[in-house]
A and B are shown apart, each in its own frame.
Chain A
Amino acid sequence: MRLAAKGSTVLMFEDGVYGAMQGTTVAATVKTAMKTMQVCVMGPDLKARGIDAAKLIDGIKIVDYSDFVKLSVENDKVQAWL
């Protein structure tokens, strides 16, 4: 998020979904980033890890695989951070 441009969309997936939770050491960083970019998180990855939607930082959008495809098409560039 430090290197993401303003107006970007950030999608958290796989183990990255832990970053969407409230009360973590990175929550403040995520909240700050959310002022200038949209943050999404993969619902199936949340479910696998037992993370309830109620535990997420307010304003983070839960998406599924078809949303993932839409986001990839809507954004002119995709950077995959593995």
Chain B
Amino acid sequence: MSDIKKFMYVNRRAPYGTVYAWESLEVVLIGAAFDQLVSLAFVDDGVYQIVKGQDTTQLGIKNFSPTYSALGDYGITNIYVEKESLEKRGLTLDDLIPLTYEDENDNYAEKDSIKVVTASELAKVLEEQEVLLNF
């Protein structure tokens, strides 16, 4: 397939309270399976989606947060997190699930997928995209 586009999925909502986070993740994985160039952004309450240590046992619903760790295997290596959104919520990079990928051009070295960026840096990244999907 030659028609490859740059897809960006912008995640703005907290997990579990609504179905958006889970639905977004499903669409992301579908997009990646069709060999598109997929990036993700987590802004506003969306940053809560990738907070580590999630345990939904007592709620009796699926904890889908381990799925984010598989994104690297789907070739999704650009995951942007807005710095301002983290700061407003008292969070730092250390609070997030460490998302990584193996760089096939660098002897499969494990590299970080998460890039903490400012709002203006993220705006530039969004500008470069061809298809934007907002959840």
**A residues lining the B interface (CB < 8 Å):** 14-15, 18, 21-25, 27, 43-45, 47-52, 55
Contact = CB atoms under 8 A, between A and B. Distances in A.
B45 A18 contact: yes
Contacts of B56: 47-48
B90 A21 contact: yes
Nearest to A15: B17
Q: Interface centre among A25, A47, A50, by most B CB within 10 Å?
A: A50
Contact of B59 (A18, A45, A55): A45
Interface of B: 14-18, 45, 48, 51-59, 61, 63, 65, 88-91, 95
A14 B90 contact: no
B interface majority secondary structure: loop
Contacts of A55: 90
A50 B89 contact: no
Contacts of B54: 47-50
Contacts of B45: 15, 18
Given A43-B58, A49-B48, 8 more contacts: A15-B14, A15-B17, A23-B91, A24-B88, A47-B55, A47-B57, A48-B59, A50-B51
Contact of A27 (B18, B57, B90): B90
